[in-house]
Structure formats: C-alpha cells, structure tokens
C-alpha cells in the first residue's frame, strides 16, 4: 500500500468515527483533508458516496427513532433547496456567502459553549422544520456543507440525543441521494471514484461502528457540546474556504 492510499484510508476512518459519534461531519473532515490527495472532479462524488456509506452504517444505531414525523418536513425542504442552491451559486459571490455563514457559526457556537444550555425553540411546527430544510439544502448546494442549519435547529428543539441524531441523519441520507443523482446524471461518478469508495467502505463501516459505541457513552450534555464543537469547526472551515 502506497502512502497516498494509506493517508486516504486514515482520513476515511477518522471521519467515519466522528460521524459515528455525532451523526454528521464526515464530508466536512474528508473534503478538507482529501483535497490534498484527490483531484477536485473525483473528490466531490467520492465524498458523497463515502459519506452515504457512513451515514447508512451509523443510522442503524438510532434507526428506531428515525421516524418521518420528524425528518419528513426537513427532507421536503432539503430536496427543494439543494438544486436551488446549485442554481443560485453562479449568481452571487460564493466566498462572501461562506464567510458570512462561517462567521455566524463561529460567534454563535462560541457563545453557546460558554453557557450551560442551548435556547429552546418549541414554535413553528413542521413549517419551520421545512424552512430549515430549505436553508440546509440551499447551503449544501451552494457551499457543499448542508449540516449546520438542521443540526443546530434539532439541538434547539429540545429533543433527546437519539431523536436529534436520527432526524438529521435521515435528512442527510435523503440529501446525499439527491446530490448523488445529479452527479451520476452529470457523469461525475467514474471508475476511479468507485475504486476509492470500494477500498474505503470497510474502514468506514468499522470506524462508524466504533463511533456509535462512543455515542452510546455520551450524556445528553456531552452530545450537545460535541455538536457545538463540530459546528464551530464547520464555521472555521467555511471562513478558511472563503478566500
């Protein structure tokens, strides 16, 4: 095994472990580190397919909580928002968009990490959830990172950690399938991409399972703090990628 392949698998395993523990962040970690190893046209579909493997592997841990009563409105909004984000991307400065979102995340998560509990949002119902899904979809289509809006919203809904995670993971699986369909239609999923996915599949599945074990040991408060730290990392990544 050459050094590039070893580093590729190491990143896959590390990202899958964090995804298994938190329910998200695979694409954030893998995109940032694999960009040094994989050409851009192969990177995007590889991240989508490997992230999908990790999500499906770790979703088993909280599958019983993944009811569409929670996830359905987010999915509807996300399916509408994702292609909209892709279409809007050429119309505005993507760097400024990333910078603005990243700055908001950094400030908000820093403040939340300094206080005892997140604010609780109980109003809005399914319409508000669908609206957050639209925002997540637009952000994903425009920046490649769709997680922050829905993850933060689920945390503020006051649901237990299993329900939060099952809800946004069901959303991510749906959105990844939509993005994958666009990529397949565009001819982006080629033989090299599929080879990389094939060699990473087992390490991702094993590391995701280990991450699930870590998730089981997290308290509700510990899970919320992990979410805030990962969202803070998302903000920093967006700001860094805006230049």
Distance (Å, whole) CA 4 – CA 26: 19
Q: Is pLDDT of 44 > 70? A: yes
Phi, psi (deg, nearest 5) at residue 188: -80, -20
Q: Are 54 and 21 in contact (CB under 8 A)?
A: no
pLDDT at 90: 66
Q: Is pLDDT of 242 > 90? A: no
The least confident of 2-16, 56-70, 117-131, 226-240 is 56-70
Distance (Å, whole) CA 40 – CA 155: 33
**Given pLDDT bands bounded at 50, 70 and 90, which one contains residue 140?**
confident
Q: Is pLDDT of 8 > 70? A: yes
**In the chain, domain spans:** 3-240
Question: What pTM, to 2 d.p., does this model score?
Answer: 0.80
The backbone region for 25, taken as left when phi is positive above 0, alpha when psi lies in -120 to 50, beta otherwise, is left
pLDDT at 77: 93
Task: Kindly report the average pLDDT of the chain as a whole number.
Answer: 83
**Given pLDDT bands bounded at 50, 70 and 90, which one contains residue 40?**
confident
* Half-sphere exposure for 123 (CA within 13 Å, toward CB): 1
DSSP run (H or E) holding 125? helix 125-143
């Amino acid at each position: 095994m050459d050094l590039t392949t070893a580093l590729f698998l190491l990143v896959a395993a590390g990202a899958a472990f964090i995804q298994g523990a938190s329910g998200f962040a695979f694409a954030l970690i893998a995109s940032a580190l694999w960009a040094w190893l994989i050409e851009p046209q192969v990177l995007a579909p590889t991240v989508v397919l490997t992230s999908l493997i990790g999500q499906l592997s770790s979703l088993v841990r909280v599958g019983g909580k993944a009811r569409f009563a929670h996830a359905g409105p987010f999915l509807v909004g996300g399916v509408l928002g994702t292609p909209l984000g892709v279409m809007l991307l050429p119309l505005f400065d993507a760097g400024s968009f990333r910078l603005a979102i990243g700055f908001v995340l950094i400030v908000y998560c820093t403040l939340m990490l300094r206080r005892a509990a997140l604010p609780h949002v109980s109003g809005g119902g399914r319409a508000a959830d669908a609206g957050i899904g639209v925002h997540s979809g637009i952000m994903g289509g425009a920046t490649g990172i769709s997680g922050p809006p829905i993850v933060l919203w689920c945390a503020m809904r006051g649901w237990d950690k299993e329900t939060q995670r099952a809800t946004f993971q069901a959303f991510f699986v749906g959105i990844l399938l939509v993005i994958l369909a666009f990529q397949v239609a565009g001819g982006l999923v080629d033989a090299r991409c599929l080879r990389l996915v094939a060699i990473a599949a087992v390490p991702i599945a094993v590391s995701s399972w280990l991450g699930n074990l870590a998730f089981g040991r997290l308290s509700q408060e510990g899970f919320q703090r992990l979410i805030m730290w990962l969202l803070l990392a998302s903000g920093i990544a967006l700001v860094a990628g805006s230049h």
